Structure 1
Amino acid sequence: MTKFALYVPLQAKPGKEKEVADFLRSAVPLVNAEAGTISWFAIQEGPSSFAIFDTFDDAAGRDAHLNGKVAAALMEKAKAGDLFAKTPEIHKLDILADKLPR
């Protein structure tokens, strides 16, 4: 069972919604290379609201993801200040139950 997750809400700057969506789509190959990332979702919650939700079997997988290329790219974009209305907040979550294909 997956036990750990991350939830990262993202707010696009006005007029940057397409660029945020494209950035999130571009992360798929990086996430696919991470053995410890069990599932990864980039979602759009509203016109300018996006989020990343991902799951891990153990804390080591979550830590590897946080120290990996996707997190580095996200923080680089945040520091550049051109896409996001505010700095992304990374929420570490515990999963109580799941249903995933195995």
Structure 2
Amino acid sequence: MTTPAGVITFKARTGQGEEVARLISAALPHVEREAGTLTWLVLRSNADPDEVFLVDLFADAASREAHMNGEAAKLIFSTVPELLAARPAIHPADLLARKDAPSGPQ
């Protein structure tokens, strides 16, 4: 069984990467209420600080679909586009391999 995932790349206008990352991160409270969103990461590139990645893992395909139509997505796509140099690149995906950190003292 595969784990549905999603990767979205946001290319900010020059100098706007920090603000784009901040606005995307502001959606966290909405994501925390999504039982089917297992992992939600906002990453800002070290190589290009105006590039921001959103990476998600979901319980199932229905959870991914609900997330993409949920409150977090609505907030992100209503606040971020004016700061972007290009349209976000949305990549629905499937997780192929994974290593997680230990959850506590062993």
Normalised by the length of structure 1, the TM-score is 0.85
1:24 shift after superposition: 2.0
**Alpha-carbon distance, 1:2 to partner:** 6.2
Q: 1:86 is matched with which residue? A: 86
Q: Which amino acid in structure 1 is aligned with residue 62 of structure 2?
A: A
Query: Which ranges in structure 1 are unaligned for 5 or more consecutive residues?
Result: none
Provide the C-alpha distance between the structure 1 equivalents of 2:30 and 2:85, rounded to a whole number of angstroms. 24
Question: What is the aligned partner in structure 2 of residue 39 from structure 1?
Answer: 39
Report the equivalent of 2:26: 26
Alpha-carbon displacement from aligned partner over 1:23-45 (angstroms, at most 9, x marks no partner) = 12211111111111000000011
Give, as a single letter, the amino acid of the residue that structure 2 aligns with 1:77.
T
Distance 2:99 2:63 in 1: 19
* Shift of residue 64, structure 1, vs aligned partner: 0.7
Between 59-68 and 89-98, report the one with greater CA deviation. Answer: 89-98
What's 2:78 paired with?
A: 76
Query: Alignment length, in residue pairs?
Result: 100
Give the CA RMSD over aligned residues. 2.0
Deviation at 1:15, TM superposition (A): 2.5
Structure-2 separation of matches of 1:2 and 1:56:
10
8 Å contact 1:2–1:55 — kept in the other structure?
Answer: no
- Structure 2's unaligned 5+ residue stretches are none
Q: Verify the 8 A CA contact 1:8 1:89 in the aligned structure 2.
A: yes
Instruction: Give percent identity, aligned residues only.
Output: 38
CA radius of gyration, larger in: 2
Given the two structures, how large is their TM-score scaled by the length of structure 2? 0.82
CA distance in 2, matches of 1:2, 1:40: 17
